[in-house]
Amino acid sequence: MSDSKSKKYKLGMIGLGTMGRNLLLNMADKGFSVTGYDKDQKMIDKLEEEGKGHHLTGFGDIKKFVDSLGSPRILVMLVPAGPIVDSVIDELKPLLSKGDLIIDSGNSHFTDTNRRVKELSKDGLHFFGMGISGGEEGARFGPSMMPGGDRNAYNDVAEILEATAAKVKGEPCVTYLGPGASGHFVKMVHNGIEYAIMELIAETYDILKNGLEKSDDEISKIFTDWNNGKLQSFLIEITGEIFLFKDKKTGVDLVDHIKDQAKAKGTGKWTSQVSMDIQLPIPTINEAVANRDLSKFKELRVSLSKRFPKPKDKLVLSLEDLENALYFAMISAYAQGMHLLVQASREYDYNLKMQDIAKIWRGGCIIRATFLEDIYEAFEKDHNLEHLFLNEKVQKIIEKELPSARKTIVTGLQAGIGMAAFASTLTYFDTLSTGEMPSNLIQAQRDFFGAHTFERDDEEGVFHADWNKVSK
């Protein structure tokens, strides 16, 4: 390997764990000369073993690693978000030259990315936040990638990213998104949508298993059949496969031995937090985050389940209604996420192109689905589309699926099945499609107890009423 280490490489990967190593191997498969750096020699050895036959190698010395790269140097980091990212940047800075590009492909918070962009620009260095979706398999064979930063710097790496990304209809699932932290922001919202869809599928599973009393084999077949229709998506596909996986220890279905306590890495919570900061509601994502948190209170849940047993009557609901309801709910989840991106683009001057985002989500990523083609077409038809529900094709789908959604949600709630995410999609739609909300009463209450004033619907200006005269 010593001869190959004397050559100049096109790109360097910092962090040779599962994601970093597989992405680097993917790039090497496409004919690019790439190298990696890791403090763990075992990771370097693994890279070189799996990368035999490619112009690819690994380093354990960061200076030798940086020196092995051609100019401008392109470095991709796949390390845990937070202080470790700053630590790696501090190590790199003395070794880099003006015009070099650092790409953070971990799930960093977009505000951290904003800070790093500003700090590194003072030294003439480019910094990109680039979300990557697709997991281990996606990284190895074609992920969806969401880069944001300096437009000219993107040109230095575009060829590699476009070759490495997943392809849909021959088009790469990567594009330049916008300035600053736009890439990490889009990935954060992607993950929020992912939380919502996973929760909706989990609630559907609850209905199938505990409401309709279906076996794991039957549930697997249902999801597999659904994946051949309008619900076709990566998450529906793998759900069907999960129920067929046997536990080597017990011989029964593994899913039945997994604790019902969901964990999270924080990106869903970040999505909820920023939506409240910019006052753009995404209730289904919020409920998905909340339900993961509720699942952790196992002892409390078990105790309350004994005190408040569920109705014993078997739930009566057709699989067709359930399929339609899940389709409606998934559409609502996507619509909420896209609306958040529309508003955030204005708030943070990202100048996001929604059609491009939908386009690169069609393949490679965790939330890829047939419906993303409809989302892409909607925003491609109208680049200024405010909300997905305003698109005529989507409106026709909603009209068709809405009765099933109402029936499924009411039936499930009456049976005592927790359907927070499902219910939120319906109340979101009903409220958003209401011309006259009861919020006038809230304004009256605020003015009554706090003199917060109100506006009138028949006269311009700001007003305050002497409500105490009524109470007296």
Strand partners, 145: 132, 174
Angle between helices 267-277 and 182-206 (to 10 degrees): 110
Helix (H, G, I), strand (E, B) or coil at 74: strand
Say if residues 364 and 223 touch (Cβ distance below 8 Å): no
Kindly state the helix (H) or strand (E) to which residue 127 belongs, with its residue range: strand 126-133
Task: Give catalytic status of residue 52 as yes or no.
Answer: no
Q: How many Å separate Cα 393 from the centre of its chain?
A: 24
Catalytic residue flag (residue 380): no
User: Do 348 and 299 form a contact (C-beta atoms < 8 A)?
Assistant: no
Query: Do 394 and 388 meet the contact criterion of CB atoms below 8 Å apart?
Result: yes
Active-site choice (10, 187, 214, 269): 187
Q: What does the alpha-carbon distance between residue 241 and residue 221 come to, in Å, rounded to a whole number?
A: 9
The rounded distance, in Å, linking the Cα atoms of 224 and 232 is: 9
Interacting residues of 228 by C-beta distance below 8 A, sequence separation 6+: none
C-alpha of 331 from chain center: 15
What contacts 462, CB < 8 A, 6 or more positions away? 453, 454, 455
CB contact burial 3-12 (16+ within 10 A = b; e otherwise): eeeeeebbbb
The answer to whether the CB of 105 falls within 8 A of the CB of 132 is yes
User: Phi and psi for 464 in degrees, rounded to 5?
Assistant: -140, 135
Which residue of the set 10, 194, 203, 269 is catalytic?
A: 194
Task: In whole angstroms, give the CA distance from residue 464 to residue 186.
Answer: 42
Both tokens assigned to 128: 């990109």
Catalytic residue numbers read: 187, 194
